[in-house]
Amino acid sequence: SPKMKSKLAICYYNTGEMKKSEETFAQMINSDVATREDFFYYAQALKQNGKYVDSDLWMEKFNKLALNDARGLSYVNNPTYLDKIEKQGIHFTINNLNCNTPSADFGGYPSTVNNDAYFVSSRRKRVFVQNEWSWNSKRFLDLYKSTIASSSELENVELITKKVNTRFHEGPMCFSPDGKFVYYTRNNISKGSKRKDQKGIQNLKLYRATVDSKGKWTNEEVLNFNSKDYSVGHPSVTSDGKTLYFASDMPGGFGGADLYKVSLNADGSYGKPENLGKQFNTEGQEMFPWMSNDGHLFFSSNGHIGLGGLDVFVMLPNKNGGFDKLMNVGKPVNGQHDDFAFTMNKDNLTGYFSSNREGGKGDDDIYSYVLTKPFKQNLVVEGIVADLQTKEILPGSTVYLKDDKGTVLATTTADDKGAYSFELEPEKNYVVSASKDKYFDDLANFNTVNLNPEVESIKQDLDLDKDPGLALYCLVTDAKSNVPLEGVKLTIIDKTNGQEFLSTTTPETGDAKKGIADKKVNDLITYTIKLEKEGYLTKTVVFSQRIVKP
């Protein structure tokens, strides 16, 4: 049945058999039972098979069924995403490592005190021990230690002690900046009924151990925000040792696995886990966070628009300790398959990532990289949308970026702080406008002419005037052709108090509107209106009108 084919296609997708997934989805995708999630995963399977045009068509269909889904909005707001990724250029050179095997190998987690690095592999075949994962009949994952050679190859590979590697999965890990603690991912190994959730799933947990003077891991403990009912894993600690980033599918997220952070207190306790929000997280999977020493947060996602499967993304830091911009790190790190487990050494130039791309030595392979072109903040316009009178922020406002011809280039929604931002190109004229129900629109004209590309941002707040039920509307036209005039400087002075009522430049439609909040029916309004535009005679008129009911 179509429903069973959908389930089978998802199984193929989750075990990496993309050609079978695409073929099976194709047999049911036009049926009445096909859901928006079928559309999404069919689009992803097509993309991983290199069929970008077909994938985009199904993402459009997905977005029509899931209007507020970040995965669809990411696509709709970036219709030229392939061109953008290409235009940003190549940031890395990469190399497949000699230590890779036909089994799954991924990671490359550097020590913070010596030249060692650790990785994850399913290469070990254990005698007399059940060591195959029932989901895909492949061996469980173990942690291995190696030495980083001058060429970034991982040499002198050895299995970590049995006390660390259990008969279940061990996975992504990191060290504290001083090297005294190690955080690592592992299946829940609690006893009896505490091991599995209600569906019988043995979820992941985060563990911490002390690293003694000989490099041995001792005093293992389970972090107190773990649970048998959801997974917690993929740790990364900031260079100041005060914050731990991780991934989890705990309740209250956006869907799938989300990125979180938690404070590491001086007394060894932990703060309350905090979801990083929709700037990072989508209804898809966000995993493998890694914070570099210079404050760049790398992670993998299949929810943000990319080249296929899991792509590596980077959040660029701002001067206030937060993050400003999300970037796909591009080729050659990303491709049409899964690219993940991106880590960076202390030099902020070299590191490792993993991929199941074609041409590797096995299932997942580890690649080293050298950063050849730093990630930089492009020109952006950013601002806050607020109420003109009260100055209260207006989250949820729709904000448009247009060119000087009025063509909409991008659309976004002001976040919970009323903030918005758009990327810009140099030497261009732009219009940014905002709208919200029960408010009049506001717009602003600006340009990037003669601006240094290294400029961090252009600040342009937008103030929306609440609709009081009464407004002054002006339409400026050419006297001979009666065609609306764009670019007219419009200045309106209230003659009753001598104060400026409105100062703006007309858009392509030639009109402007502003609410009149301090007047009522039967009041007399009198305004001096001044019109200025190059190539036209300046004109000043007096408008006087008594307000009457329509």
pLDDT of 453 strictly over 60:
no
CA angle 313, 314, 317 (to 5 degrees): 160
**pLDDT average, residue stretch 61-88:** 84
Q: Which of 80-94, 253-267, 531-545 has the lowest mean pLDDT?
A: 80-94
Under the banding of pLDDT at 50, 70 and 90, the label for residue 544 is: very high
Q: What is the number of H-type helices and E-type strands within the chain? A: 6, 36
Rounded (10°) CA dihedral 299, 301, 305, 308: 110
What is the predicted pLDDT for the residue at 457? 64
Q: Which of 118-132, 327-341, 363-377 has the lowest mean pLDDT?
A: 118-132
pLDDT of 512 strictly over 70:
yes
pLDDT of 224 strictly over 70:
yes
pLDDT of 77 strictly over 90:
no
What is the predicted pLDDT for the residue at 461? 93
pLDDT of 298 strictly over 80:
yes
Model confidence pLDDT, tens digit, residues 423-445: 888 788 999 999 998 888 888 88
**3-state class percentages of the chain: helix first, strand second, coil last, to nearest 5:** 10, 40, 50
pLDDT of 241 strictly over 50:
yes
**pLDDT average, residue stretch 80-90:** 83
Locus of tokens 């109420």: 387
- 134 vs 486, residue with greater confidence: 486
Nearby residues of 522 by Cβ (< 8 Å), 6 or more positions away: 546, 547, 548
Under the banding of pLDDT at 50, 70 and 90, the label for residue 136 is: low
Give the C-alpha separation, 41 to 25, whole Å: 9
Residue among 40, 112, 100 nearest 347 (CA): 112
CB 493 within 8 A of CB 528: yes
Query: What does the mean pLDDT of the chain come to?
Result: 90
Nearby residues of 183 by Cβ (< 8 Å), 6 or more positions away: 173, 174, 175, 176, 206, 207, 208, 223, 235, 237, 244
CB 229 within 8 A of CB 221: no
Q: Which of 95-99, 220-224, 252-256, 546-550 has the lowest mean pLDDT?
A: 546-550
> Which one of 71-75, 226-230, 436-440 scores highest in mean pLDDT?
226-230
pLDDT of 130 strictly over 50:
no
What is the predicted pLDDT for the residue at 134? 47
Under the banding of pLDDT at 50, 70 and 90, the label for residue 125 is: low
- Distance in angstroms between the alpha carbons of the first and the last residue of the chain: 62
Decide: helix, strand or coil at residue 383.
strand
Q: What type of residue sits at position 146?
A: S
pTM beyond 0.85: the answer is no
pLDDT of 131 strictly over 70:
no
What is the predicted pLDDT for the residue at 343? 98
Q: Which of 21-30, 35-44, 249-258, 507-516 has the lowest mean pLDDT?
A: 507-516
Q: What type of residue sits at position 322?
A: G
**pLDDT average, residue stretch 295-303:** 95
Q: Which of 116-130, 266-280, 379-393, 473-487 has the lowest mean pLDDT?
A: 116-130
Decide: helix, strand or coil at residue 76.
helix
pLDDT of 126 strictly over 70:
no
Residue 223 burial by Cβ neighbours in a 10 Å radius (0-12, 13-18, 19+): middle
Q: Which run of H or of E encompasses 159?
A: strand 154-159
Count of C-beta atoms within a 10 Å radius of residue 110: 21
What is the predicted pLDDT for the residue at 543? 94
pLDDT of 451 strictly over 80:
no
Q: Which two tokens stand for residue 71?
A: 């995965």
What is the predicted pLDDT for the residue at 129? 43
Model confidence pLDDT, tens digit, residues 102-112: 999 999 999 99
CB 209 within 8 A of CB 256: no
In order of 403, 436, 462, the CA distances from 508 in angstroms are 11, 20, 19
pLDDT of 491 strictly over 60:
yes
**pLDDT average, residue stretch 167-196:** 90
**pLDDT average, residue stretch 150-169:** 89
In order of 57, 245, 263, the CA distances from 239 in angstroms are 43, 12, 13
What is the predicted pLDDT for the residue at 138? 65
Residue among 232, 249, 238 nearest 186 (CA): 232
Give the C-alpha separation, 143 to 438, whole Å: 58
What is the predicted pLDDT for the residue at 128? 39
**pLDDT average, residue stretch 288-313:** 95
pLDDT of 468 strictly over 80:
no
Under the banding of pLDDT at 50, 70 and 90, the label for residue 51 is: very high
CB 188 within 8 A of CB 228: yes
What is the predicted pLDDT for the residue at 448? 86
Q: Which two tokens stand for residue 449?
A: 């002419």
**pLDDT average, residue stretch 343-362:** 94
- Give backbone dihedrals phi and psi of 15, rounded to 5 degrees, phi first: -100, 10
Q: What type of residue sits at position 30?
A: N
**pLDDT average, residue stretch 379-395:** 90
Q: Per-residue DSSP letters for 76-139? A: HT-TTHHHHHHHT---EEEEE-TT--SS-EEEEEE-SSSSEEEEEE--PPPTTS--EETTTTEE
Across-strand partners of 499? 494
What is the predicted pLDDT for the residue at 496? 87
In order of 115, 209, 304, the CA distances from 164 in angstroms are 20, 10, 34
